[in-house]
Amino acid sequence: SSKVIKIPKMREIRLGRIDDVEVHYLEYRDVHDTEAFDADWAARNKLNSAFSRLDEGRGGKVSYFPFVHSFDMLIPRELYGRHPEYFPLIEGKRVGGYAQRCLSNPDVVRLAKERVEEWIGEHPETKIVSVSQNDTGKWCQCPECSSLDEAEGSPSASILNFVNKIAEEVGKRHPGVLIDTLAYQYSRKPPKSIKPRANVVIRLCTIECCFSHPLERCDSEQNVRFREDLAAWSKVAPNLYVWDYVTNFANYLMPFPNLYVLKPNIRLFIKNGVKGVFEEGNYSPGGNGEFAELRSYMLAKLLWDPDSDVDIVLDEFLTNYYGKSSRLIKEYVELMHEKVREENIHVSIYSPPASEYLSKDVITKADELFEEAENLAESAEVRARVKIARLPIQYVMIERDFASGEERARVIADFFAEAERAGVTHINEWTAMSDYRKKFT
């Protein structure tokens, strides 16, 4: 991790002839987790994340500007009063606020081209410019936009038509700059005939999927549809990236048994021609989400070498990070993953603590494993790491009332004391730990 480095001790180091060439599978490898932002850690683990603090001396990074959901920056919502025609027509009315834009409007296209040109001038280091939908629905249903979307079979048609116009202009002046847009939620399905220009990046998002089973084999309706969209985009997109999700955003501190799907999912992406992967985890200021450092380490290894042996990578981290407690932590990992695998339980990035895989018998067994792991820890530092790993079990015990009376009071006190010591700032993507704590005072 960025805080724990294991350097083997050797009396003598002899180097023979070195002839080692490694070639990446993915041109863009981004682990978007607080534990992965450290520049030295990212460089050691061969990431080129947009949000990491990588400079050229550490290998550089893929520079985005802005990063995503850029329609508000392209066409500011303050223009609604003077130019409501720039904004989406929904049920016969132009809608302002946080919404999409009317992408068939010539002035919207013109203003967007001008704004992108300004961004490139202001940020000459930028390799990829985001021209992407806002993080909402509310897309335009005016006759021009809707007729194109209906003819092409997807609302992605009006977006891609708009993006292509901007990309054409950028390509003339800045041949090394790419224009990025999303295939996300309502726009995930590709249009029938409109294809991305050569300098357009399509960033396909997995947000609706099940993450407890490999995308390629999962029988959930969400994963079946994602596979269809992935295959369709892979046939037409010259630059296909994936925006993947690797934590529970509604419950940062909740068991999220996805460690064994990371490899098959990344391999599926690569098999379908994906060139870059963004793995979104817990990016809160305090970090320390469920197995954040372990998951970041595994992702970094797999993004560089998707043929890595997952068990070797997992055991390497557990042994060096948890010491004598590692065997029990591994047993806990297997306990949680076997539950969702054997009972075919689907887990999303918003699954609640009441999810069936978090049954009382599983949580009780997990708590016993962590109690023993704490007792086995050979140092205060290792014990502190075990306590952080135990937070998700305590969180579920609290949320599901698996403890009562004095025992519940003790679990709550231990949970908040350890979370504070670890510097945890958020219980989920939108709630600070301090606000969550008010429920118990």
Domain residue extents for the chain: 28-318, 325-440
pLDDT above 90 covers a percentage of the chain that reads 91
Task: For residue range 240-296, list pLDDT tens digits in order.
Answer: 999 999 999 999 999 999 999 999 999 999 999 999 999 999 999 999 999 999 999
* Side-chain half-sphere exposure of 102, counting CA atoms within 13 A: 23
Task: For residue range 124-146, list pLDDT tens digits in order.
Answer: 999 999 999 999 999 999 999 99
> What is residue 239's DSSP assignment?
E
Q: What is the DSSP string of 146-204?
A: HHHHHHHTSTHHHHHHHHHHHHHHHHHH-TT-EEEEEE-GGG-SPPSS----TTEEEEE
Task: Determine whether domain 28-318 maps to CATH 1.20.120.
Answer: no
Element (H, E) at 275: strand 274-280
369, with CB counted inside 10 A (0-12, 13-18, 19+), is: buried
Largest CA distance in the chain: 77
Beta strands in 12-96 (DSSP E): 28-32, 64-65, 89-90, 93-94
State the Cα–Cα distance between residues 29 and 50, nearest whole angstrom.
9
The number of angstroms, rounded, from the C-alpha of 202 to the middle of its chain's C-alpha atoms is 16
What per-residue confidence (pLDDT) applies to 54?
Answer: 82
Element (H, E) at 278: strand 274-280
